[in-house]
Structure 1
């Protein structure tokens, strides 16, 4: 077995931050290898893998551990202490079943209807605005979708505050576990949202509020683990948030989606005329644009992978963005082409913008189906239900910056409802 090629340096975290989503691709090209070692997050060694084979290895629970590998600062701001993202084994499978129990046909249909209805109801507001920043507008609207879907009580006067706090938490990923300017602000935002949700968990358990059965609030408040114990109220609030926080993060995909329609005008017409095109378009947005850059793990045992040995205890990282742009998986990966999903086999190891592997046993986002549904309905709304102008602005997407954004947020103006008055 050959030894791992290395990106030299005692700690390459700053280099990762500087090169962003392109760091792993740059190093593979420079070292002429498909797997390499780097040191980051305090000088810890990581073997960086990519592609379908890399994902299949990384999401093999028998040989790879995820527990304890997320940077503490990201846990403190984005996921929450004790969140499902931070555990493995039987405990993870048990709690993941709770998340998956929410993915009923009725709940999925409800989030589709909510998305469609709330965008339509938002039309008049956008018509009255001089300009609409889609990044900002969608995070507020998706907060309404997420909280109503989850069954939590979110008074209208608090929606802006909740949306802002959620955005601050999601944006904290840019720190990659290191010191960053907004760390205290992110922790404070998380504390406010956790307090709000824990209060609703406790009030539900006391019988003072009555969320509908089947909602996230009801199911989490009444859930017992495999030992018959209810979840600690704070931990319950944290994972309740994790049922709808990913929905709010979809605002990144929404602004990317409108950018894609702007750059590819024919796609707008296809969304209107082809029944399944919105689905293919949503999947291509998730594949093409930068979202999660990479995810960490640790080898439980010695792993032989593509001619090299990764020793037990060694850090691992799956290159998510690189896998989504792997030429061996995707023809012309740097072209935006929704049609590529016409014959897609649904593999859990190539389209991994929100994690890979099995939903029930792996750390794949339980809300991925909801992401696609929200994107489908949102893209249909902007293609079919309204017209708008796109003024001059900075529409660049900087791949050297984590997390990825449309620089301007994607601003539109002169929004008008499409009305058939024939």
Structure 2
């Protein structure tokens, strides 16, 4: 491999506009070009705009560190309005970002988020028993999305008063529409507006005292949270409420891929069911191998350079997550599902819900960012994601369920991808005993 270094004179540049190829190929677009040119960087044009594609752990550390890049102007409006919105934490930079980020670090700290795991296990058992009584195929992506929405609403301090089914449908539509243009994106954005109206009513209700909440709960903390400029605008607070709910519901996609992996690798299903020490390596391999969002974009805030290659202020840079997780120069047999590659970071057996040692993971595992959670843009919800995925994996491995006939092809041209054409259908057979 010819990784870029100080002697690099040029980055390969693809001819013409590559927008059609990117949309047609999906996840493999960047991965294939990195392999073709034997490089960790190449340039292309998307939507008429020049962009530098990067892969690898070093590139991730560079991309996420030292306020080099802003998310403003780095995503199509269709994506921004599906997943974020103006004024949300991910659109902020510098000290403003760090202050707002403080809220998420506070409520997702191990000492504060333990109730989320408990609520998830309770909601999972109840929903599993409901599915068992129904005896019909269940899409794990959609079904676990409802479980996660229910658990999150209870953990937030909103309890059963909110419609978990509606919040799950809205969140799942936002996620599914973010990688599309046309009807799927329009549907997600329409439901986002409905979800924002609900979130605004919640914030207004907390502030007016009309909505009873648990003192010190995440939703109460958010309603009264203050930035450097004072209390958050109600609309901004509502957006940040969705920025707690939606990413947790998004774990349902990892859960669907975990079930697909358990189905395809029955030996690992037995290993996970019998020994909790296998939970962390298995969950990390699911996060590496599962295609979620293919890349993340940023716009350079100032002139900088990447291993001898100049990046001017306002240049567009894309960190290719999919290619980073499949780089044959950094992963042994990257197309093979192999949790043993993470065994060295597993440590002693731990109860899912305890703090995940995500900082000990290999540097080229970057599904939710890289670098510091406190000072950078690495997702503060990453440990919670690992916890919830491990819990769901353990419960799936220890439960009785069948896989009905279905197309389990993972379509890599679809953004974001699904585990099978219908989100991993299963038929639960026996109720769970809490």
Change (3 A) 1:105 1:347: closer
Following superposition, the deviation at residue 62 of structure 1 comes to: 4.3
Choose which of 385, 388, 397 in structure 1 pairs with 2:401: 388
| Pairing of 1:7-406 with structure 2 (within 5 A) | 7-9=14-16, 11-40=17-46, 42-129=47-134, 130-152=136-158, 155=161, 158-175=163-180, 179-227=181-229, 229-344=230-345, 346-347=360-361, 349-384=363-398, 386-406=399-419
Partner SS state of residue 317, structure 2:
strand
1:159-190: CA deviation from partner (whole Å, max 9, x where unpaired): 22221111111111222xxx422343222211
Moved more, 69-78 or 20-29: 69-78
Change (3 A) 1:64 1:29: same
C-alpha separation between the residues in 1 aligned to 2:328 and 2:313? 30
Structure 1 segments unaligned to the other structure (5+ residues): none
C-alpha separation between the residues in 1 aligned to 2:70 and 2:271? 43
1:90-111: CA deviation from partner (whole Å, max 9, x where unpaired): 1000000111001233433211
Tell me if the contact between 1:389 and 1:413 (Cα under 8 Å) persists in the aligned partners.
yes
Tell me if the contact between 1:68 and 1:86 (Cα under 8 Å) persists in the aligned partners.
no
1:222-262: CA deviation from partner (whole Å, max 9, x where unpaired): 111124x1000001000111012111011111110000001
Following superposition, the deviation at residue 296 of structure 1 comes to: 0.7
Tell me if the contact between 2:142 and 2:172 (Cα under 8 Å) persists in the aligned partners.
no
Following superposition, the deviation at residue 299 of structure 1 comes to: 2.5
Establish whether residue 5 from structure 1 lines up as the match of residue 12 from structure 2: yes
C-alpha separation between the residues in 1 aligned to 2:334 and 2:35? 16
Tell me if the contact between 1:12 and 1:38 (Cα under 8 Å) persists in the aligned partners.
yes
Partner SS state of residue 7, structure 1:
strand
Moved more, 125-134 or 340-349: 340-349
Partner SS state of residue 130, structure 2:
helix
Structure 2 segments unaligned to the other structure (5+ residues): 1-7, 346-358
Following superposition, the deviation at residue 199 of structure 1 comes to: 1.0
Aligned-pair RMSD on alpha carbons? 2.0
Change (3 A) 1:349 1:70: farther
TM-score by length of structure 1 reads: 0.92
Change (3 A) 1:419 1:148: closer
TM-score by length of structure 2 reads: 0.90
Aligned equivalent of 2:348: none
Tell me if the contact between 1:303 and 1:312 (Cα under 8 Å) persists in the aligned partners.
yes
C-alpha separation between the residues in 1 aligned to 2:362 and 2:34? 23
Tell me if the contact between 2:57 and 2:366 (Cα under 8 Å) persists in the aligned partners.
no
Change (3 A) 1:204 1:118: same
C-alpha separation between the residues in 2 aligned to 1:79 and 1:62? 19
